[in-house]
Amino acid sequence: MEDKGIFRGAGWQLDIDNAEVEVSVSMLLELWIAANQGVPAVDVWMNGTLDGKNIRVRIERESNSLIVATDWGVEKADPWSPELAPRIILQVIGNKLRVTVSCGVGKTIFSTSVEVPV
């Protein structure tokens, strides 16, 4: 794993088969999380945000993409269906990085993409 720089607090490392996860907590209570290719998804819960609601931020690997999505999690009746949840998709396509941001309301999905060289 990489050097965590300013993150010099408590840390944990977990290795299961080919999956490696490292978590550190800085003196400012900021989290640093590293997960290698053996870890398909990471859920981070931000409790007490947005008028006291709990928000889940999910990062998933999908072939040459990373998908970052938010929702209320599995414990509540989710107001966002999977295709409508706010998300950012990062894809490497050849020598370009495509960034797509989308969110839906009702049956309408709003989406925009940009490609930049890598």
In one-letter notation, the amino acid at residue 38 is: G
Instruction: Give residue-wise pLDDT tens across range 27-63.
Output: 888 888 899 989 999 989 888 887 777 888 989 998 8
Considering the domain architecture, whether residues 48 and 98 belong to the same structural domain is answered as yes
The whole domain housing 79 covers: 40-117
Considering the domain architecture, whether residues 34 and 46 belong to the same structural domain is answered as no
Q: How far is CA 46 from the centre of its chain?
A: 12
Considering the domain architecture, whether residues 29 and 3 belong to the same structural domain is answered as yes
Instruction: Give residue-wise pLDDT tens across range 69-114.
Output: 888 766 555 556 767 888 999 999 999 999 999 998 878 889 999 9
**d(Cα 96, Cα 39) in Å, to the nearest integer?**
24
The band of 1, judged by pLDDT with boundaries at 50, 70 and 90, is very low
